[in-house]
Amino acid sequence: MPLSAVFTGAALTLTGGIPALAADGSTGSDEAKTGAAALKTATVKVSDTETARITRKATAKATARLTKKVKATAKVTAWSTRTAKATRTVTVTTSATDYNTAVAKAKAAAKKKAHERARSAAIAEAKKQAVKNSRAKAKHRAQDKAERLVRVKFGAEVVSDAAKLKGTPYVYGATGPRAFDCSGYVGYVLRQNGVTHLNRTSSGLVKNTKKVSKHAKKKGDLVFFSSGSGVYHVGIYAGGGKIWHAPKPGSSVKKETIWTSSYSVGRVKV
């Protein structure tokens, strides 16, 4: 057996023995003896750890429906950067005319392969994580955007329908479409946009809404006017500090600037 060297990590083991006999009992030709004696083998085991940082994007679509009539779709692209680490171990066996050369060749080859494999694994894992995270982000943001858009669309539709009734006379207790009182008018417009199960009176409509701050009011929100005895009037916010409403007997539906600070705002729950 030719003299050989086994190098594993930091451990080096030399192995060798007597050359094998030929069929005639000899140790073979002089050429074979010389070749066997000259050949030295080394095995080297090398581990390498690499880190990869990858950025990937993903696009998602989401649809939000506020009522049967009003829905909106949003499309969002999100980016995500993720870092991953991977370790790979490679063992290489090589031969050379002398032991030191064999070790050096095996070590160089093992180091190169371990680096390449570790880097590939790190990139693959970072890419997988980045794609997964960017998809989740895109989906979440698309849903949020769709919900915001559907509210904006709802508000625009409500204000548009409210404006179409301009000039309709006020009649106490009337719910339309040829005459309205304040809550009858608001309820009629909301029903045209798919909002059902509404209370009849202005004080009752408060229960059909979620309170929002005055500075956060948006088109389509309801504006409630109150006094010491409670809510006495309601209108539809039209933007720009104005409302559409059916004011009082002897008047008709119109758009008017909010005239007092004694009001609250409610967003319709659907």
**DSSP per-residue string spanning 10-41:** TEEEEE--PPPP-TTSS---HHHHHHHHH-EE
With 0-12 CB in 10 A as exposed, 13-18 as middle and 19+ as buried, what is 2?
middle
**For residue 37, what pLDDT is reported?**
52
Question: How high is the mean pLDDT of the chain?
Answer: 89
Query: Span 243-265, mean pLDDT?
Result: 97
Does the pLDDT at position 31 exceed 80? Answer: no
| pLDDT number for residue 33 | 44
Predicted pLDDT at 21 = 33
For residue range 10-21, what is the model confidence (pLDDT) as tens digits? 333 333 333 333
Global pTM?
A: 0.74
pLDDT of residue 120: 98
pLDDT at 215: 97
Confidence of residue 145 (pLDDT cuts 50, 70, 90): very high
The encoded tokens of residue 1 equal 């057996």
- Mean pLDDT throughout 23-33? 43
Find out whether 171 and 251 touch, Cβ atoms under 8 Å: no
Res 177: pLDDT? 97
pLDDT digits (tens, 9 = 90+) for 52-111: 999 999 999 999 999 999 999 999 999 999 999 999 999 999 999 999 999 999 999 999
Tell me if 204 sits within 8 A of 213, measured CB to CB. Answer: no
First vs last Cα of the chain: how many Å apart?
87
* pLDDT for residue 118: 98
* Ramachandran category for residue 153: left, alpha or beta (phi over 0 → left; psi -120 to 50 → alpha): alpha
What are the domain boundaries of the chain?
A: 4-157, 182-268
pLDDT, residue 190, reads 98
Over residues 156-215, the pLDDT tens digits come to 999 999 999 999 999 999 999 999 999 999 999 999 999 989 999 999 999 999 999 999
Which pLDDT value is given to residue 39?
A: 87
Percent of the chain with pLDDT over 70: 86
Q: Which fold has domain 182-268?
A: endopeptidase fold (from Nostoc punctiforme) (3.90.1720)
Instruction: Give me the pLDDT at residue 228, please.
Output: 85
